[in-house]
Structure 1
Amino acid sequence: MASPLVDVHTHVYLPRYAEVLRSRSAAPRILTQNGEERLVILENEPSGGRPVGPQYWAREEKLRFMDLHGIDISIVSTANPWLDFFEAAEAHTVAKQLNDDMEEYCASSPAYADGPLKRLYGMGLLPLVPGISIDALLGCIAQIKALPHLHGLIMGTRGIGKGLDDEALEPVWKAIADAGLVVFLHPHYGVDSGAWGEKDNGHVLPLALGFPFETTTAITRFILAGVYDRVPDLRILLAHSGGTLPQLSSRLASCIDHDPVVAARLKHDARFYLGKLYFDAVCYGPEELGFVSEIVSRSERYAPGADNSSFVVANRKTGSGRMMFGTDHPFFPPLSSTEKWKSVVENLDAIDTVSGWDKEEKDGVRGGNALKIFGIL
């Protein structure tokens, strides 16, 4: 059997969640304008929200999109907004319901190539809101672990309100690692569209720059807290190829070296921890994809016992082995009904044309890595 094409960055607003958003009078919400439903994720969105329809919640539409683009298997996650607009008790109830809904969404999908695998697998959701009890979070982790078609969970960047470096989350990280689940870290809040200037640039700054900056800041806080030294088996997948962390990792390491308060927390050079992370391949260009892969490969030189002065990367496939294809469906649809989605075409082209990758590496990023890392095969 040929290596399947697997999409790890693909979202759904499950019908129950869509109904919650329709019931709200403030963002996040789904509202109706001129007979059209629009999703407003943040207040004062320059675009006034985006038009939504069945492709956002219908399983048949997800499968139709996959068939159109030759995607064999999708590992589907709930999309932002997260549940932090709820009070803790209601967030807990909704998270458990959505986890069960996601299991049904995936379990009812057809088989892949008439074999034992399904076309759809999923990620669960934790009620990460201020005031939630750690026991409630641990219970949701156990629930996700017990659902056979869920192999991970998606998480925002604020934790339970104090960031991912919050010491209260320590038992949560350990429980996720012990359960063998992948954490998909995904942004939501972005940056103010008026930051450092007044000109209207639509949603470009909050999305194109703000989302990657948010991911970078959140995972850097996590690294600085030393969590990977205490929970080394935790698997975290970063959206949008890790934001700007690969580009800034050496600068980060230098700043840590000159800050004794932070340096004392970590057992290793900050660049070592990039080799603990996973990255989606939503870069839209082969140069960017190759750069992230190379930076992650070089994390090996900072492993315990490595000689930094003369280290040569013995296995450059370390980086590509931690990258996985994604589409960000159903966002950024084609501008014409006759077009294929650029998020598919351009990201697949980037994988196919990265300089230096061999067929094994490309097949891994296209699907093999995801099946292994998410424990589907």
Structure 2
Amino acid sequence: MASQMPYKIDVHSHFLPPAYQKACHENGHSKPDGMPALPDWSPEQHLSLMDNLNIRKSILSISSPGTHLVPNDEALAAKVTRDSNAYAAALKKQHPTRFGYFASLPIPNIALCLEEIATSATEGCDGYVFLTNGHGHYLGDSLFDPIFDELNKRHALVFIHPTTPTCPCSPEAQARGEQPVKAAPLAGKYPNPMLEFFFDTARVVANLFMSGTIKRCPDVRFILPHLGGAFPPLLSRFTGFSTLVPGPWDATAEEETREAFRKQIWFDLAGFPFPGQIRGLMDGAGVPHSRIMYLSDFPFTKPPGVEMLLGKMDEGVRGMFSEEEIEDLYHRTAEALLSMGDKPDVQEK
């Protein structure tokens, strides 16, 4: 089946080097986000999957729980982050045509993030990965302005990956010294990636716009996973509310937001996008096909699941898109995005 499809560039796949696995097990993340276990991973396993499914190149990233594993343990965050990014850099050098990577940024440690941005750039990273929140501090919070200003100067590519929603979410709660608390009321029934990841992505989309981060950083390019999670049906609500009701946020017109989707933001097809979710993104939020890219989500999705989802994806895209558009989805858009480097002008096709 896969050999009959166009080759693919995988923008959403993960790696778990031995030192990272060890750190997770030792610090309370053996079953991250309510999943049954950390998955096994090795470069050999990953390359085998790629060969079987005609994936020409995979862009690797550390998934949730990220590299800042324990609140306030900055020494551990520094070690896990550096070890993981150095491992990815070495793997890319060993297999430059097969692997790229997004360097981990261990929010909420601002100084460490800035240091890793510079170091990983010299090591050849393809961009940077953030979790949606770092121990209750959400992307778009003013705390992260120095990081996004630096990324804007570098015309950086940023991949955002969801994690478990966490509080405190407000500056007032943080000022009171409250400790981070997981904010997932259904976590005892369902793994957080099933529902909560989508809600946390929606929070970050709204917060990045209403904080003014997107507008202030026009040269940062964003990849949102899972077709943007749960945000599309909320688009008119958060933009309309922000302009209608005065408050401590940036009034964000809906058309301005839609324009950013067309110029500054890309989306991957992780999860179960067909038949309904992709319609919400394209028809509801006005996102064109040329902003959407392939992913495998390996190894959190095991090889049989990756193959099954690819079959459903291929059936879905062939019911919606032309052959040329399918080539865009599977590889052309990702190739163009990853080759942009420091070019500030991103033009729509």
Q: Which has the larger radius of gyration?
A: 1
Residues 296-335 of structure 1 correspond to what in structure 2 (within 5 A)? Answer: 296=285, 298=286, 319-333=288-302
Q: Determine which structure has greater relative contact order: mean sequence separation of CA pairs < 8 Å that are 6+ residues apart, divided by chain length.
A: 2
Hey, what does 1:247 align to over in structure 2?
233
Superposed CA RMSD in Å reads: 2.6
1:52 & 1:340 partners in 2: Cα distance? 14
Q: 1:88 to 1:212 in 2, by over 3 A?
A: same
- What residue number does 1:279 align with? 267
Give SS of 1:82's match: coil
Alpha-carbon separation, structure 2, partners of 1:263 and 1:90: 34
User: How has the CA–CA distance of structure 1 residues 61 and 256 changed in structure 2, closer, same or farther, with 3 Å as cutoff?
Assistant: same
**Match of 1:209?**
195
Question: 1:19, CA displacement in angstroms?
Answer: 1.8
Structure-2 change in CA distance of 1:293 and 1:245 (3 Å): same
Structure 2 CA distance, aligned partners of 1:265 and 1:251? 12
| d(CA) in 1 for partners of 2:146, 2:119 | 16
Which residue, 346, 364, 375 being the options, matches 2:328? 364
Which residue number corresponds to residue 63 of structure 1?
47
Aligned to 1:22: 25
Preserved CA contact (<8 Å) 1:76 1:121: yes
CA contact (8 A) 1:325 1:366 kept: yes
CA distance in 1, matches of 2:318, 2:66: 34
* Amino acid across the alignment from 2:133: R
Looking at structure 1, the residues matched to 116 and 81 of structure 2 have their Cα atoms a distance apart, in angstroms, of 8
**In the superposition, relative to structure 1, how do residues 177 and 346 fare at CA in structure 2: closer, same or farther (>3 Å)?**
farther
Which residue in 2 is equivalent to 1:288?
Answer: 277
What is the TM-score of this pair, normalised by structure 1? Answer: 0.75
* Matched ranges for 1:94-109 at <5 A: 94-109=80-95
Q: Which letter maps to 1:121?
A: G
Match of 2:13, SS state, is strand
Q: Whole-Å Cα distance in 2 between the matches of residues 146 and 211 of structure 1?
A: 32
What is aligned with 2:131?
156
* Letter of the 2:295 counterpart: G
Structure 2: distance between partners of 1:13 and 1:290: 33
Provide the residue aligned with 2:102 in structure 1. Answer: 123
Q: Which is worse superposed, 61-70 or 255-264? A: 255-264
Three-state SS of the structure 1 residue aligned to 2:138 is coil
In structure 2, the residue matched to 1:8 is 11
The verdict on how the C-alpha distance between 1:141 and 1:340 changes in structure 2, with shifts beyond 3 A counting, is closer
Q: Deviations over 1:306-340 (max 9, x none)?
A: xxxxxxxxxxxx611111101111123367xxx86
Amino acid at match of 2:310: V
C-alpha spacing 1:143/1:70, structure 2 compared with 1 (3 Å): same
Amino acid at match of 2:229: G
SS in 1 for 2:67: coil
8 A contact 1:293–1:323 mirrored in 2: no
> Where do 5+ consecutive residues of structure 2 fail to align?
166-182, 342-349
Q: Does 1:170 align with 2:130?
A: no
Structure 1 portions without partners, runs of 5+ = 30-39, 110-116, 299-317
- Of 178, 184, 187, which residue of structure 2 is paired with 1:192? 184
Whether the 8 Å CA contact 1:10–1:77 is kept in 2: the answer is: yes
- For 1:157 and 1:259, the matched residues in 2 are separated by 26
